[in-house]
Structure 1
Amino acid sequence: MTDLNTLYQTDYSAWAKRHIELLRDRRFAELDIDHLLEELGDMSKSERRELASRLLILIAHLLKWEYQYPLLSERWREFDGRSWRNTIVEQRKQVSVLLRQAPGLKSTLGETISAVYPDAVDLASKETQLPPETFPEQCALTGAQLLDDDFFPNSA
C-alpha cells in the first residue's frame, strides 16, 4: 500500500481518490487524518473567502449606485450605470450559487457583511473619489436586499 503521507505530497488527486475509497469501505483507521482535516478546513476557508470577496464587490457597487450614480446621471444623460448594474447582477448570482452549493455559509452571511463592509467602503471611495465619510459607518443593507435581484438603492 502506498504511504498516504507521501502520496499527499506527490499526487494530491490520487491521495483524494484513495480517501474516497477508504471512506466508502469504512476503513477509517487507514485515513491520513492530519492531512484530511487540513483539507477539510481549507475547503471551508476557501468558501468563506469567496463569499467575502463577492460580497465586498457587491456592496461596493451598491454603494457606488446609491451615492455616485445620481450625480453622474445628472451630469451625463448617456450615463446609465450599465457596467455597475452588470457587476451587481453577476455578484448576486455568484453569491446565490455559492450559498446554494454551501448552505452552511448562510449562517455567516450577516457576520461576513459586517466584516467586509469597511473594505467595500474603501473600494467605493477609491473608485468614486468620494470621501469615505460619504458612506454610512455601518452597512445599512440586509442580506435579503443584497441578494434581491430587484433591489437597487435609491439616491442618498
Structure 2
Amino acid sequence: MVKPGLYERDFYAWTREQAALLRSGQLSSADIDHIAEEIESMGRAEKRELVARLAVLLLHLLKWQFQPTHRGASWRLSIANTRDELADLLADNPSLTAQIDAAVGSAYRRARRQAAAETGYGESAFPDLCPYRLAEMMDGDFWPDQS
C-alpha cells in the first residue's frame, strides 16, 4: 500500500511546504501536479462565486418585481449590497466578464426556482429567460416593476 503524501495527510502543511519550495526556486522538488490542480480549483471557485452572487441578486430582483407589496428597506439593502459585491468580484477578476452570459443563465435558473418556492407563485409566473440585462442588474437606479 502506498503511503499517502503530505498533500493527502495534512493539506495546510502541504501548502506551506509548497509555497516555501516555490519561493526558494526549488521547482524540481515542488508538487507541480497538485499545485496546478489547486490553482485550477481556485479559478473554478471564483466562477462559482460569480454564479452564486448573481443568483442572489436575481432572486431579489424577481421578488422586488413580482411582490411589490413586500418591498422594503431590507430587500433594497440586499440588492444594493449584492450589486456592490458583484462589482468587487468582477473588478478583482476582470476575466470573469467573459463568463458572464453563461453565469447569468445558470444563476437565473436557480433564482427562478427559488423565487417560485419562496413566493408560492410557481415557476410559470416568472419569465423563462432572465428578463434583465446585466447593465440593469448592476445599475443602482434600476428597480424593476411588474410589467
Provide the residue aligned with 1:58 in structure 2: 57
Pair 1:142 & 2:133 matched: yes
What is the CA–CA distance in structure 1 between the aligned matches of 2:28 and 2:74, rounded to whole Å? 54
On the 8 A contact 2:21/2:27 being kept in 1, the answer is yes
Deviations 1:80-138 (A, max 9, x none): 42221121112112212222222221211111001121221111111112232221111
Secondary structure class of the residue paired with 1:137: coil
Provide the residue aligned with 2:145 in structure 1: 154
Deviations 1:51-73 (A, max 9, x none): 1111111101101111211xx1x
Indicate which of 129, 132, 137 corresponds to 2:123: 132
What is the CA–CA distance in structure 2 between the aligned matches of 1:6 and 1:97, rounded to whole Å? 37
Query: Which runs of 5 or more residues in structure 1 are unaligned?
Result: 73-78
Deviations 1:17-70 (A, max 9, x none): 33233333333222202211221121112111111111111101101111211x
Pair 1:8 & 2:24 matched: no
On the 8 A contact 2:64/2:71 being kept in 1, the answer is no
The TM-score normalised by the length of structure 2 is: 0.85
| Superposition map of 1:3-152 within 5 A | 6-69=5-68, 72=69, 80-152=71-143
Number of aligned positions between the proteins: 144
4+ runs deviating over 6 angstroms: none
On the 8 A contact 2:6/2:14 being kept in 1, the answer is yes
The TM-score normalised by the length of structure 1 is: 0.81
Query: Which runs of 5 or more residues in structure 2 are unaligned?
Result: none
Q: Which moved more, 1:13-22 or 1:98-107?
A: 13-22
Secondary structure class of the residue paired with 2:5: helix
What is the CA–CA distance in structure 1 between the aligned matches of 2:25 and 2:138, rounded to whole Å? 40
The 1:80–1:117 alpha-carbon spacing in structure 2 relative to 1, beyond 3 Å, is closer
